[in-house]
Amino acid sequence: MQSLEIFEKSNDKEGLDLGASPAQSFSDLTEIHMQLARFNHHRLDPQVPCALWTSELKIESAMRVLENKMLEKEISFIKPLTVDLPTNAKLFMHWFEELRHSGPGQNDTLFDWLEEAANHDEMTWFIRQEVAGEAGFEDLTALTQIKMPTRPKLELARNYWDEMGRGNEKGMHGPMLSNLAKELNIEPPSLEETTAEAAALGNIMMAMAMNRRYAYHSAGALGVIELTAPGRALKVYHGLKRLGLSPEAQRYYLIHSSLDIKHSEAWNAEVLLPLVTENPALALPIAEGALLRLNAGRRCFERYRKELWGPAH
């Protein structure tokens, strides 16, 4: 496939430095992420059997090879951040929780601006990218929990049930974001409207959850979302409220500004700590997954600032 050829050429390119900063190296993955975004758009849709299933499997096989190579390269970007990573469970959890303050993309000024200054059109553009990069936390959690040990599995189940509104449609988190998009007149974003960075965010999360060799990476990535999202969500909520959106439209970010704090505490205590206590070697994949998610978010914030503020900023 063309994207596979692009990947091989990028790897073979003379002078390509896998240890270079992500901002410099990400351009090599842009076309690959856009291709994977097209693939993921239909990947999990319920379908019916068709006569061309053998051809579909060939395409899927090629795309999954591409996906795994993408993950390997993305991990190479964050690998230096895992030097001296502690494997003692308590020390590791201290390292992990510190990501809230010092991890890639934390305290980005984009969110102060969204809270205090963004106008309606600028906020709409931002939310459009958020919708485009949303891979579905509840689905990612469901995929990640498969065959996990009992204690982490139960916490993943509790988290999933909260995401699903505890059985109440009005409490489901996914439709809350849809309600916000609807009020802002945002149609499902086309690929042309989606930045490569937003596409990459969704691709990375989906890749970790769909490939069992990256299941612990996925647990780390989902856990770091719960850890770092509340502060950003609160600022976006304040921005939406300032712009006069309805309480229903504000609700998605309001809920995540508070509920995710409790989710993070439970995730750390019931998922990550038991996993690393039982097997210290799991500290590395969990840490890599968290850093993959944070680094992808950092790239998004930088791109959003460039688009919304102009290159001079």
Residue 137 DSSP label = H
CA dist., res. 271 & res. 289, Å (int): 14
Instruction: State pLDDT tens for residues 21-60.
Output: 333 356 678 889 999 999 998 888 899 999 999 999 999 9
CA dist., res. 184 & res. 162, Å (int): 25
Can you point out the beta strands (E) in the chain?
Answer: none
Quick one: how far is CA 164 from the chain centroid?
18
Tally of residues, the chain: 313
Counting residues of the chain whose pLDDT is more than 90, the rounded percentage is 80
CA dist., res. 189 & res. 128, Å (int): 7
Model confidence at 14, in pLDDT bands (50, 70, 90)?
Answer: very low
Q: Contact, 291 vs 104, CB < 8 A?
A: yes
Rounded to 5 degrees, φ, ψ at 118 are -60, 140
Mean pLDDT of 288-303: 97
CA dist., res. 107 & res. 66, Å (int): 33
Instruction: State pLDDT tens for residues 256-282.
Output: 998 889 999 999 999 999 999 999 999
Q: What is the mean pLDDT of the chain?
A: 90
Instruction: State pLDDT tens for residues 68-94.
Output: 999 999 999 999 999 999 999 999 999
Say if residue 6's pLDDT is above 50: no
pLDDT of residue 150: 98
